[in-house]
Amino acid sequence: MTMPEGWLTQLPAPAGTLEPVQRRGRLALSEHSFPSRRQESWRLTDLKRLEALFQLSLADQRSDCSNVESWPSVPALALRLVIDGTQDPLRGVTLPAGISVLEGAELQQALGHTLSRCRCASDWPVELNHGVSQQILALRIRGKVPPIELVMVADDSRLVPTRVLLLVEEKSEFDFLQVVSAKGQAAHSHLLEIHLGQESKVNHGLLALGDGREALLANLAVEQETRSHYSLVSVSQGWSFGRLEPRVVQVDGQASASIHGLSVTAADEQFAVHTAVRFEGPEGTLDQVQKTIAADRSHSIFNGAIQVPRPAQRTNASQLSRSLLLSGRARIDAKPELEIVADDVRCTHGATVSQLQEDQLFYLRSRGITHSSAAALLLRGYCKEVLDLLPLDASQRWLGGSLQVGGVNP
């Protein structure tokens, strides 16, 4: 399997702010081989679906954001930005005090820094984004600023590359919700870098909703300085092919991170969540819960790496992966990876794969609730624990409070 001949050369010539990055990405794509199932991180991936991305057209000069009317209104004070890979998301927008655009030498200095610290700059999906991204949304956050809701859309068999960089200065506080939506067999290639300065706080939500036949490649690189707090809540559903890769590095320790994820797959979807958290200094913490629900013939993958090298004494990390397998034709792969060298650490992790709990079902049934309603209720509760954590009231506004999960088929 490879990239189709001539695919790189038909791309628009490198230009603009991202010109050097585009050159770098295209060189890497031409020199490095296409991902192979012999590589551990791609072993379970349906590479045909990755290859299918090359059949999509790259963003053209469309101007309309098709279904803006159907979007929920933005909460008071919050700023909504929209990116579709072509329009400038800041056109006609007045940025509130504390949020400014990062440009010129500052931007060039910051660009890619967090990717390198997270050791993912040369990952294939990142190089793909390098190669095709035409623009970047780069913001500096200073102080307590209003929340941002960033809506990213793709439709019409297009591959929409998006790149975002957030420089969160020390002691700043920021709520950030990304809504990634796609329809019409489109695909997203998304690359996000967030740098958290000392004592800053970022509350990050990612709500990724496909329509069943779309693809999502999302790489999130997060760099935390001391005493910063980073929270990520990701919810994904409806992607024929998806790969969400959050990577967090705590560069000098003493930072805290919490990562909560929910991925729901149905039909013949394949969705993979690869998280990696690396503690490079002492006294860092991590609280991670990843939930997955696999129905029908779908395939859900979770791979969670935690690295605690020697300087990371007194790290406290916990990771829990809970998977629900709802159908006899679905498949779940869960693979935690813990690598620990420091001795004074507390690391726990756990993983469960099962269907809905028999004792919970019985308890509900003994109160007169039918098997199928009980199952639906339990599934809703299972999802709600993650949904409720999304910032900007996203669960209520975008989902009406719950996800529809079908396919209970024991």
335 lies in the site for another protein, by CB under 8 A = yes
55 lies in the site for another protein, by CB under 8 A = no
State the number of CA atoms in the 13 A half-sphere of 60 facing the CB: 9
325 lies in the site for another protein, by CB under 8 A = yes
348 lies in the site for another protein, by CB under 8 A = yes
Q: Applying CB under 8 A, which of residues 62, 119, 171, 349 lies at the interface with another protein?
A: 349
CA dihedral sign of residues 115, 119, 122, 127 = negative
Residue from 335, 369, 331, 363 nearest 349 by CA:
335
Q: Applying CB under 8 A, which of residues 113, 212, 329, 393 lies at the interface with another protein?
A: 329
CA distances (Å), origin 182, targets 79, 252, 392, 405 = 21, 38, 21, 19
Using DSSP's 3-state secondary structure scheme, residue 145 falls into coil
380 lies in the site for another protein, by CB under 8 A = yes
Contact 328, 71 (CB under 8 A): no
Q: Applying CB under 8 A, which of residues 17, 41, 327, 396 lies at the interface with another protein?
A: 327
Minimum CB–partner distance for residue 258 and another protein (Å): 17
Q: What single string gives the DSSP state of each residue in 9-41?
A: TTSPPP-STTHHHHHHHHHHHHHSPPP-TTSGG
Q: Applying CB under 8 A, which of residues 17, 198, 355, 396 lies at the interface with another protein?
A: 355
Query: Which residues ranging from 301 to 320 are in contact with another protein (CB under 8 A)?
Result: 310, 313
Contact 154, 187 (CB under 8 A): yes
Q: Applying CB under 8 A, which of residues 378, 399, 403, 405 lies at the interface with another protein?
A: 378
210 lies in the site for another protein, by CB under 8 A = no
390 lies in the site for another protein, by CB under 8 A = no
Contact 297, 309 (CB under 8 A): no
382 lies in the site for another protein, by CB under 8 A = yes
- CB closer to another protein out of 17 and 327: 327
Identify which range of 149-157, 168-176, 209-217, 339-347 contacts another protein by CB under 8 A.
Answer: 339-347
**128's torsion region: left (phi>0), alpha (psi -120 to 50) or beta?**
alpha
30 lies in the site for another protein, by CB under 8 A = no
Minimum CB–partner distance for residue 205 and another protein (Å): 18
In angstroms, the CA 114 to CA 100 distance is 19
Q: What single string gives the DSSP state of each residue in 302-339?
A: EEEEEEE-TT-TT-EEEEEEEEEE-BTT-EEEEEEEEE
213 lies in the site for another protein, by CB under 8 A = no
Query: Which residues ranging from 113 to 152 are in contact with another protein (CB under 8 A)?
Result: none
For another protein, the binding residues (CB under 8 A) are 40, 310, 313, 323, 325-355, 357-360, 362-371, 373-374, 377-378, 380-385, 409-410
